[in-house]
Amino acid sequence: MTTRRIHTSSGSLPPLSLPPGALAKTDQRHRYDVGDEPPAIEPIEHRIRLDFMAGGPIRRAHLLDQHNPWTSDPGESGPDPWRETGQSKPAGLLYAEASCRRTLAEERRYYDRFEANHSVDLDDVPAFLAHRLQVCRTAEEPRAALEDEQARRERWYSTIIPWMNLYHVLKRSSYGSLLPPSVTSSADVDEITEQNAFVGTIVVDDCADIRAVAREYGVSGRFVVRESDFSSSAVECAPLPSDFGIDLPAPLLVGKFASGSQYPLLPWSDGLVCSCPYKHDRPWRILCKHELLAAVVASGEDSIFLPVTQGLDVPHRARRFVSPAIASRHTPQAESKTHR
């Protein structure tokens, strides 16, 4: 169901028609159903994007050669793969790990408040956690269910996000596949965007006549793309714009990456979410290599909006990578005891 239509300043492109789940939580028209809709972008996702933006470009020397989170368990104080190899961690990762610890501590107030009053209002609680607390309300043993949920959430912040997601992305075989061969000791954003483009595109359904659409809007047919032509169309778990309730035709930002993939960035939860299968194959993942690259590019712009490096001038909402509300409150910082 379309809730908001956003037009380009020139009015020369189709409007960007968004469903309620793509609006900011503070918007009166925002609606979101955890059970029926794609995962919301969690506050920690926005914070970690800001952390990597603050950390700046990532050198190839920062990346791991080996890390398999499925064959090893870090435990509560397990080995740090950067320390083991004598490498320096990227600054953005130091900030991100500190953000996980701070966010975990901040969320304890939700459990304390809920334990004191099971009928307490949950409007200010992150969407998925609010849903899980609703489940706790109806459990036979609400207190035991609450303790289990808190333990699950703590493991997400302390182990799953860093060990199984961020470390996995920060490998030469993952994020390194997007870097030009010359990126060794330094990593210039302009050089990175020569190999990876953010393309302003009119996305159409599979029945659309590309030439007719191009004529209607006075654009090159190069920048009109059918949903089925994206890399995400070949993998069942990877969503297309229409799966997110975005009406077509739609002016969207599309990532064309050095690895050969082409994925639209979908407006959702006051930000953008990459449509690649890595991000959507496991709901607990909060970052893919394409979103990491987007954060690095945004750092070069000093903006929460991604640039259009090729193609059409799509609306600002199609380029807003991070929630403005969270960006205004979050200050990336690393704890002094964190390994550097």
The domain boundary, picked from 142, 171, 200, lies at 171
Residues 324, 187, single domain; the answer is: yes
Residues 201, 313, single domain; the answer is: yes
Residues 153, 187, single domain; the answer is: no
Q: Is 282 a domain residue?
A: yes
Residues 209, 302, single domain; the answer is: yes
Q: Tell me if 4 sits within 8 A of 23, measured CB to CB.
A: yes
Indicate the Cα dihedral angle 192, 256, 243, 38, nearest 10°.
-20
Domain of residue 116: give its range: 63-171
User: What is the residue type of 59?
Assistant: R
Q: Where are the alpha helices (DSSP H) in 117-160?
A: 127-138, 142-155
Q: Is 112 a domain residue?
A: yes
Q: Is 57 a domain residue?
A: no
Residues 155, 188, single domain; the answer is: no
Model confidence pLDDT, tens digit, residues 182-202:
655 556 788 889 889 999 999
Q: Is 274 a domain residue?
A: yes
Q: Is 336 a domain residue?
A: no
Indicate the Cα dihedral angle 64, 65, 67, 71, nearest 10°.
-170
Query: Rounded to whole angstroms, how far apart are CA atoms 256 and 239?
Result: 16
The domain boundary, picked from 171, 192, 220, lies at 171
Least confident of 23-27, 68-72, 132-136, 169-173: 68-72
Indicate the Cα dihedral angle 262, 266, 271, 274, nearest 10°.
-40
- pLDDT bracket for residue 340 (50, 70, 90): very low
Model confidence pLDDT, tens digit, residues 264-273:
999 999 999 9
Q: Is 196 exposed, middle or buried (0-12, 13-18, 19+ CB in 10 A)?
A: buried
Sign of CA dihedral 68, 69, 75, 77: positive
Residues 25, 115, single domain; the answer is: no
Residues 208, 317, single domain; the answer is: yes
Is beta strand 262-268 parallel, antiparallel or unpaired with respect to 271-274? antiparallel
pLDDT at 4 (0 to 100): 79
Q: Tell me if 22 sits within 8 A of 268, measured CB to CB.
A: yes
Tell me what percent of the residues of the chain surpass a pLDDT of 70. 93
Q: Tell me if 264 sits within 8 A of 232, measured CB to CB.
A: yes
Q: Is 55 a domain residue?
A: no
Residues 125, 103, single domain; the answer is: yes
Q: Is 300 exposed, middle or buried (0-12, 13-18, 19+ CB in 10 A)?
A: middle
Q: Is 177 a domain residue?
A: no
Residues 138, 216, single domain; the answer is: no
The domain boundary, picked from 127, 147, 171, lies at 171
Position 233 pLDDT exceeds 50: yes
Residues 278, 200, single domain; the answer is: yes
**Cα distances (angstroms) measured from residue 287 to each of 41, 44, 101:** 10, 10, 17
Residues 123, 207, single domain; the answer is: no
- pLDDT bracket for residue 338 (50, 70, 90): very low
Q: Is 50 a domain residue?
A: no
- pLDDT bracket for residue 17 (50, 70, 90): very high
Residues 308, 253, single domain; the answer is: yes
Q: Tell me if 258 sits within 8 A of 179, measured CB to CB.
A: yes
pTM for the model stands at 0.92
The total number of structural domains that make up the chain: 2
pLDDT at 336 (0 to 100): 60
